[in-house]
Structure 1
Amino acid sequence: MRNMIIASTSSIHGTEYLSYLLPTLLEAFHKNDIQQLLFLPYARPGGISHMEYTEKVSTAFQKTPITVKGIHEFENPQKAIENAEAIFTGGGNTFVLVKMLHDLDLMSLLRKKIYAGTYYIGTSAGSNICGLNMRNTNDMPIVIPSSFKTTGAVAYNINAHYLDPDPNSTHMGETREQRIKEFHCYNDLAVVGLREGSYIRVQGNEEILCGTTTARVFTKDKDAIEVNPGYDFSTLFKAH
């Protein structure tokens, strides 16, 4: 039974790191008697070290009963995942994250843990790896993973930090929607655009949109649709 938070971002503008997710996380941790959180800092936002990133997460939990340990602190990262009570994969560069997970042979193990019911939290890049592949990331390919395949914890791809076109912008580059349309020229997989402040709460067979904003759903050869909080993405293929 899957038990997950798939969030667009770790922080809403003007708030402290993880603060908007913390009440939900602490409630779930208490309910599931979770005391230690395994953090995967591999995405390294801005190039920060694994240690610096883990310290940032630890600070967010310092006033709670939860102990945070980075996976880099363990001699054997596979055993660290196997023994984890809960797992958090932070944001940053999805290419760097996916390369590390494949290089260390952790991607399939992470999938097994998720489907076995281990509580999983992903933000940004950590949410991108919940889809079937990472082809809808917004990140630069600064490294080359051995595969774009990710956990397949949900049956669609995630586009985190989804941005709507700004009619007043003078930017001449493609919009997110145009990029996803390009993706659908070659792929049939549905894509969920998660805006800031929204997340998907996965419990068993339910995949419910939560938070303060709508999400945008893209499917090949069909018009994109807006879905409101409370929408169950597990019905995506049946409905569209």
Structure 2
Amino acid sequence: MTELLLLSNSTNPDAEPLAHAPLAEFYEGRTVHFVPYALADHAGYTARLGEAFARAGVSLRSVHTEPDPAAALASAEAVWVGGGNTFRLLTALQALDGLLALRTAVQAGVRYGGASAGTNLACPTIRTTNDMPIVEPAGFDALGLLDFQVNPHYLDPTPGSRHMGETRAERIAQFHEENEAPVVGLREGGWLRVSGDAVRLTGSALVFRRGEEPEECSDGLLTPWAPRA
């Protein structure tokens, strides 16, 4: 059964990284293989995340130190995919043949956690990321562990703002001009806990469905494909 923990963000204001995440409960003593490729400094990123996981009593080791990262992912007990730039993350995993290894492992029961770019990677594609395409991946298909899209770091429009650019809601509306999949706009501090077919939201989110008004959701079960009640 697929088990996922997908965060909007890894750090809340005035808090240590991942202090809000239920890491100990989710990983239950498993050694976690860390995927650091969304940032350029793999060693520094691993050190920072290692401290965060240690505070939760969870052991972390990075796949970038392994001679064969894809093989390490295939044999992992559990995985955490860090945030950063989603295009760089996907491109690196494509080059390492890591996508298939990771997808196969998670579908076989390996627990998958991630924040921001790591949450984007769990979706069918990375088309709802907020990141700049600083590198060019060989296609946008991601792990497909969900049957809907997530937009991490979802921002509501600021009343009275003089910003003339598109709001996040407008960008998601443009996505739905070309795509069918629902999009969960996951606000900061929130996460999705997926267990098999059940998706539970902690925090708050807007669910965008093609041709419908967005649905405001908070703590509880989430059904992105279901029509709005």
| TM, length-normalised to structure 1 | 0.91
State yes or no: 1:97 paired with 2:95: no
- Residues 102 and 147 of structure 1 are in contact (CA less than 8 Å); yes or no, is this contact kept in structure 2? no
Per the alignment, residue 6 of structure 1 pairs with: 6
Q: Residue 225 of structure 2: which of 208, 212, 237 is its match? A: 237
Map residues 106-117 of structure 1 onto 2, 5 A cutoff: 106-117=98-109
Per the alignment, residue 183 of structure 1 pairs with: 175
Per the alignment, residue 82 of structure 1 pairs with: 74
Per the alignment, residue 29 of structure 1 pairs with: 27
Could you list the per-position Cα deviations for residues 14-62 of structure 1 after superposition, in whole angstroms to 9, with x for gaps in the alignment?
11001111xx2212333xx41x111000000xx4x11010001111123
Map residues 1-240 of structure 1 onto 2, 5 A cutoff: 1-21=1-21, 24-30=22-28, 33-34=29-30, 36-44=31-39, 47=40, 49-211=41-203, 214-233=204-223, 236-240=224-228
- Residues 6 and 115 of structure 2 are in contact (CA less than 8 Å); yes or no, is this contact kept in structure 1? yes
Shift of 1:64: 4.8
What is the rounded CA distance, in whole Å, between the counterparts of 1:29 and 1:102 in structure 2? Answer: 26
- Moved beyond 6 Å, runs of 4+: none
Shift of 1:78: 1.3
Shift of 1:135: 0.5
RMSD of aligned residue pairs (Cα, Å) = 1.3
Shift of 1:210: 1.2
SS of the equivalent of 1:238 reads coil
Match for 2:169: what amino acid? Answer: E
The gaps in structure 2 that reach 5 residues or longer are none
- Residues 90 and 121 of structure 2 are in contact (CA less than 8 Å); yes or no, is this contact kept in structure 1? yes
What is the rounded CA distance, in whole Å, between the counterparts of 1:125 and 1:64 in structure 2? Answer: 22
| TM, length-normalised to structure 2 | 0.95
What is the rounded CA distance, in whole Å, between the counterparts of 1:152 and 1:109 in structure 2? Answer: 13
What is the rounded CA distance, in whole Å, between the counterparts of 2:10 and 2:55 in structure 1? Answer: 18
Match for 1:210: what amino acid? Answer: T
What is the rounded CA distance, in whole Å, between the counterparts of 2:3 and 2:53 in structure 1? Answer: 20
- Residues 5 and 202 of structure 1 are in contact (CA less than 8 Å); yes or no, is this contact kept in structure 2? yes
Could you list the per-position Cα deviations for residues 104-146 of structure 1 after superposition, in whole angstroms to 9, with x for gaps in the alignment?
1111221111111111111000000111100011000110000
